[in-house]
């Protein structure tokens, strides 16, 4: 049994590596097409011009190799870039995927909010979340791809960062609102959750805005009376929605006015159902996993001469 398990594990790992390699090939071919000067594309990518291209013996100064005929690339699947980002293991690989994300965001109809979500998630795992936000905010081609879910995702990361004070979290949340400008009713409830997490009252103007809102909030209704396969599909479908709503479900009970709202009741019920779904398919809680994998502390540095451990901790 042990031998079979090891063989199965190795096989799964090989498939994952092959999938990531294919994703990289698709993206590289697509990017190379756009990097090829427009006047050379007919020569490089049209089969009838192959002999003429080879006879010119052109040299690619960037790639340091001869220019050869290539097949026209297909548009990569949306999941290809997500695979590349999710496979990053260090800051250098993350920077490479960041540059790819930026380059593809300047091409028509490819980059989506899901790609930015994947980049934020991996940045948090590699202790680069603040840098990721600064980069996204500074790039117009990326900022125009952001939507309300990306805004809410940023607020969720502010919520799970236990190293941030309330003042800092609220300040960073306001920056996100100013940069993205696509809030929805969930955004305001997440802002309220930042206060409630720190056992502080929700500001009166924010609470009034939430309680008087007539904006409809779509909250999924889950049925647990399904096969394991169907439940697994629901998990993949609604996981991001659960991550977005979990802070609201956790914190809103602390405020009577918010807890009485039908939208909050629906959110709480959805969160409870999703937890039961995870139990049925024997998966760890996705929100707990997100918190455990996201690293916001600074890497340990050698103690600086003349400073106490308490002083160094305050600096962080």
pLDDT in tens, 111-150: 999 999 999 999 999 999 999 999 999 999 999 999 999 9
Calculate mean pLDDT across residues 266-293: 98
Measuring CA to CA, which residue among 176, 178, 252 is closest to residue 210?
Answer: 252
Exposure string for 117-154, b = 16+ CB within 10 A, e = fewer: bbbbbbbbbbebbeebbebbbebeebbebbbbbbbbbb
Measure the CA–CA gap between 149 and 187, rounded to whole angstroms. 9
- Which residue in the block uniquely carries the two structure tokens 């900022």? 143
Please tell me which residue, 59 or 256, carries the higher pLDDT value.
256
| CB atoms inside a 10 Å sphere around CB 216 | 9
Q: What is the reported pLDDT for 63?
A: 78
Domain residues of the chain, as ranges? 7-76, 78-146, 150-295
Residue 283: pLDDT band with limits 50, 70, 90: very high
Q: Select the highest-mean-pLDDT range: 2-6, 59-63, 210-214.
A: 210-214
| CB atoms inside a 10 Å sphere around CB 113 | 15
Measure the CA–CA gap between 244 and 121, rounded to whole angstroms. 13
Question: What token pair was written down for 41?
Answer: 């594309």
Residue 33, exposed/middle/buried by CB under 10 A (0-12, 13-18, 19+)?
middle
Calculate mean pLDDT across residues 1-19: 53
Measure the CA–CA gap between 252 and 257, rounded to whole angstroms. 9
Which of 33-47, 113-127, 272-286 bottoms out in mean pLDDT, i.e. has the lowest? Answer: 33-47
Q: What is the reported pLDDT for 20?
A: 74
Phi first, then psi, for residue 295 (nearest 5°) are -115, 120
Strand pairing category for 65-66 and 59-60: antiparallel
Q: What is the reported pLDDT for 10?
A: 52
Query: Across the strands, what pairs with 65?
Result: 60
Q: Sign of the CA dihedral 30, 34, 39, 40? A: negative
Angle at CA of residue 234, ends 268 and 264, nearest 5°: 15
Measuring CA to CA, which residue among 43, 88, 91, 30 is closest to residue 69?
Answer: 43
The pTM (predicted TM-score) of the whole model is 0.86
Calculate mean pLDDT across residues 295-304: 67
Q: Tens of pLDDT along 253-265?
A: 999 999 999 999 9
Integer CA distances (angstroms), 206 to 8, 79, 189, 216, 244, in order? 53, 37, 9, 17, 19
């Amino acid at each position: 049994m042990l031998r079979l398990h090891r063989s199965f594990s190795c096989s799964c790992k090989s498939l994952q590596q092959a999938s990531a390699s294919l994703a990289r090939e698709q993206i590289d071919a697509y990017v190379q097409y756009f990097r090829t000067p427009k006047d050379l594309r007919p020569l490089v990518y049209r089969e009838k011009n192959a002999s003429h291209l080879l006879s010119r013996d052109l040299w690619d100064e960037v790639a340091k190799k001869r220019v050869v005929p290539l097949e026209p690339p297909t548009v990569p699947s949306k999941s290809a870039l997500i695979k590349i980002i999710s496979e990053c293991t260090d800051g250098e690989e993350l920077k490479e995927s960041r540059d790819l994300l930026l380059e593809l965001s300047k091409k028509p109809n490819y980059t989506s909010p899901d790609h930015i979500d994947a980049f934020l998630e991996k940045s948090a795992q590699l202790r680069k979340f603040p840098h990721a936000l600064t980069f996204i905010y500074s790039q117009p081609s990326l900022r125009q791809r952001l939507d309300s879910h990306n805004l809410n995702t940023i607020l969720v990361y502010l919520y799970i960062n236990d190293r941030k004070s309330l003042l800092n979290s609220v300040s960073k949340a306001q920056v996100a609102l100013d940069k993205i400008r696509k809030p929805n009713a969930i955004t305001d409830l997440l802002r309220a959750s930042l206060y409630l997490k720190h056992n502080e009252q929700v500001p009166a103007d924010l609470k009034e805005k939430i309680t008087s809102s007539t904006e409809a909030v779509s909250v999924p209704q889950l049925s647990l009376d399904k096969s394991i396969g169907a439940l697994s599909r629901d998990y993949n479908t609604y996981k991001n929605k659960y991550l977005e709503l979990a802070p609201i479900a956790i914190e809103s009970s602390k405020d009577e006015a918010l807890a009485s709202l039908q939208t909050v009741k629906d959110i709480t019920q959805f969160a409870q159902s999703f937890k039961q779904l995870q139990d049925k398919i024997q998966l760890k809680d996705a929100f707990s996993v997100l918190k455990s994998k996201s690293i916001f502390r600074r890497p340990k540095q050698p103690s600086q001469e003349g400073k106490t451990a308490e002083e160094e901790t305050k600096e962080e």
